[in-house]
Amino acid sequence: MSKMLTARRRSILKIIVGEYIDTALPVGSSNIVRKYNLAISPATIRNDMAELEIEGFITHPHTSAGRVPSDKGYRYYVEFLMDDAGLPPAEQHMIRHQFHQVESDLEEWSRLAAAVLAHAVRNAAVVSLPKAHEARFKHLHLFPLQDERAMCVLVLQEGLLKQQLIALPELTTAEELARVARRLNDLFAGLTALDISGLSIGLTAVESAVTDIVLRVMRARDSQLCDELRLDGLRHILAQPEFANAHKLRDILDVLEESTLKSILSHWLVADDIEIVIGEENEPGALRECSLVLARYGAPGLAAGVLGVLGPTRMNYARAISATRYLAALMSQLLTELQ
């Protein structure tokens, strides 16, 4: 595709895409002449814009003399024209500092990742919690409560933390619960629910009660077809001029419902690098005027999730890609350290 355009038309297309991303206004030849020093005549620019329109890279809104990029134009821009700029070091440091200020917990990290990404790109951001093929036990803690009850804090290898109340069969001291936790941690480390249920071991009544809770949590985790999502930045979507129309806004809000987003994100779990889906490349009809920038993250060989940006096709792709790539790398590092 890179050979389809001359260097001059590539420059003009890059200007049109950049201007439209910045202003949301159609770009006319007079704007280009006035703002950019291309050392070519206005007539030549008009002719090149006409050719770009014929070739499908830009289009002509009915109410304007200017041009706007088409999906094909955005795709060409992303593949061949966009400046590849990473996040500034100071911004990387600030983001990393924010993560170090919260508890080392997957759910906290996923909420923060969605909020940070939405703020960075001024669009909607979504993060799916990592999903392993099968949940594996990492460790548990037991804390005594009143009335023969205890709190079980179960941590899975993927980093997920679950708290469950347990009704104990007998009054149990903190020291006894600590011994139970140590024994079960030794027995169950790295095992799946199927592995644990298949163990031929003698358990005390308290150990059996705790094991029942562990198996219930792990089996529920295994049965989840798709994971929990964290969504942030809806206010940015509402502020976009593309969605000022009530019908378009309703369609986008329908897509942002969790079930639809889960279906979209699960499709990209196999991707190893940034995926950019532009306009008509999207499956759901409501997303045909949107773009997605998605990245897989997770601990090697264990759990994997997806995070990314959803916004109008007129999004700042360079910013969205650099922010998504950085957050995915940071989340992967944090998850790996948590193992």
Domain tally, the chain:
3
What string of pLDDT tens digits covers the 339 residues of the chain?
555 799 999 999 999 999 999 999 999 998 898 898 888 888 999 999 999 999 999 998 876 778 999 999 999 999 999 998 789 999 999 999 999 999 888 889 999 999 999 999 999 999 988 776 678 899 999 999 988 899 999 999 877 889 999 999 988 899 999 999 999 999 999 999 989 998 988 999 999 999 999 999 998 877 664 567 899 998 998 898 988 887 778 788 877 776 677 777 766 655 567 899 999 988 767 788 899 999 988 876 666 788 999 999 999 999 999 999 999 999 999 988 876
Q: What is the pLDDT of residue 225?
A: 47
Are 310 and 161 in a shared domain? no
Give me the DSSP letters along 69-102.
Answer: E-HHHHHHIIIII----PPPHHHHHHHHHHHHTS
Are 125 and 233 in a shared domain? yes
Q: Token digits for 65?
A: 């003399």
Q: What is the pLDDT of residue 132?
A: 66
E strand intervals along the chain: 58-59, 68-69, 124-128, 137-144, 149-156, 161-167, 229-232, 275-278, 290-298, 304-312
Give the predicted TM-score (pTM) of the model: 0.75
CATH of the domain at 30: 1.10.10.10
- The residue range of the domain holding 170 is 137-223
CATH of the domain at 259: 3.30.450.40
Taking only the tens place, the pLDDT of each residue in 146-169 is 888 999 999 998 778 899 999 999
Are 246 and 201 in a shared domain? no
No. of H helices and E strands in the chain?
13, 10
Are 208 and 141 in a shared domain? yes
Are 149 and 198 in a shared domain? yes
User: Which of 223, 238, 253 finishes a domain?
Assistant: 223
Are 272 and 303 in a shared domain? yes
User: Which of 46, 81, 116 finishes a domain?
Assistant: 81
CATH of the domain at 148: 3.30.390
Q: What is the pLDDT of residue 42?
A: 87
Are 234 and 330 in a shared domain? yes
Are 199 and 267 in a shared domain? no
Are 205 and 303 in a shared domain? no
Q: What is the pLDDT of residue 159?
A: 78
User: Which of 189, 205, 223 finishes a domain?
Assistant: 223
Are 178 and 213 in a shared domain? yes
Are 233 and 319 in a shared domain? yes
Q: Give the integer Cα–Cα distance in Å for 28 and 213.
A: 66
Are 142 and 175 in a shared domain? yes
Q: What is the pLDDT of residue 301?
A: 62
